Amino acid sequence: MTRNSLLLIDKPKGISSNTALKQIKRKLGVKKAGIIGILDPLATGMLPIVIGEATKLSRFMEDLKKNYRVKIRFGVRSNTGDNEGELTFDRRKIPSLSIQDYKKVLKKFHGIYIQKPPMFSSVKINGKKLYQYARKGEKIHRPLRKTYIYNIDFLDINEDILDIEVSCSKGTYIRTLVEDIGSLLNIYALTDNLRRIGVGHFTENDMVDIEDLNSDANSNNGFYDISEMLSNIPVIEISDNDEILLRQGLQISFESMLNFEEVIIRNPASKIIGIGYIRNNIISPKRLLKID
């Protein structure tokens, strides 16, 4: 099932997402593949890989909610926001709070969350990635970004380590969130461990290790049909003749209660042919796939 599909990899710690992608392409013998939501080398967990025609639909999965398990270390900060940067220790005493107090602090971050992207990130400003400036010791103005925190669950507190689980929108930098939590508690904080445990409706149980991958067509572990990465979009089915018209770039008539929204388009053989936009019972093609 390696062709035209979604693959959910459990990325190991210590390698970049691009290195993981190269290993996967080599193991599976595929040329066309891409990443949805890059993970830092420090981070582990769910790395969605789109293969073949699935690469055309990446943006429809990018907007899905992300879930992370995070270890916060109090009393120290770093220039990278994690434990791999230059460390600076805090002389202030780590706050001794009850579990309920920690929960109250975490709840303050729920909802719209405005943050500044870290210098050690791949955000581009003036044609260069921020980490390129950071490595030269340069600082540059970073515009604030609006993200959304759906929930932060308290898991455990053990001396200077706080364990939490975060559910957030795309574009949320967990390292910055961790530093902001520390600031609210009046103590330095950094990300000691970060693991992505879910994207959309996918969970940890849906992932596969890179080492366990092979190009065997009968091995489906970690692979998912394109339809599963588009589960948040309504589906319609059209006739063979209408498919021909769409592939010619034409609009088609389609009676539906749906209006002013994107739809998944299937043909009579139940194969996804692409994404369209329906308005006043007229479907316009947006992104069509090549299918056999």
Catalytic residue among 10, 40, 82, 192: 40
H/E element, 178: helix 174-184
- Across the chain, the runs of DSSP E, i.e. the strands, are 5-11, 33-35, 44-51, 66-74, 76-78, 87-89, 111-115, 124-125, 128-129, 145-158, 161-168, 189-199, 202-203, 223-224, 235-237, 252-253, 261-266, 272-279, 282-288
Q: Are 107 and 184 in contact (CB under 8 A)?
A: no
- CATH 3.30.950.10 given to domain 5-62+205-230: no
The b-or-e profile of 200-228 (16+ CB within 10 A means b, else e) is bebeeebbbebeebeeeeeeeebbbebeb
Closest alpha carbon to 120 in 72, 198, 51, 173:
173
66-199 CATH pick, 3.40.30.10, 1.10.3720.10, 3.30.2350.10, 3.40.50.1820: 3.30.2350.10
Q: Are 42 and 177 in contact (CB under 8 A)?
A: no
H/E element, 183: helix 174-184
**Alpha-carbon gap, residue 227 to 229, rounded angstroms:** 6
Which pTM value belongs to this model?
0.89
pLDDT reported for residue 217: 46
pLDDT reported for residue 118: 75
Amino acid 158 reads N
40 as an active site residue: the answer is yes
Q: Rounded to the nearest 5°, which phi and psi values hold at 96? A: -105, 100
pLDDT reported for residue 89: 95
pLDDT in tens for each of the 292 residues of the chain? 568 899 999 999 999 999 999 999 999 999 999 999 999 898 999 999 999 999 999 988 988 999 999 999 999 999 888 888 889 999 998 888 999 999 999 999 999 999 987 777 677 777 777 777 777 777 777 778 899 999 999 999 998 999 999 999 998 999 999 999 999 999 999 999 999 999 999 999 999 999 988 755 445 678 998 888 888 899 999 999 999 999 999 999 999 999 999 999 999 998 899 999 999 999 999 999 987 6
Portions of the chain given CATH number 2.30.130.10: 235-288
For 235-288, CATH gives: 2.30.130.10
pLDDT reported for residue 220: 65
pLDDT reported for residue 216: 56
Portions of the chain given CATH number 3.30.2350.10: 5-62+205-230, 66-199
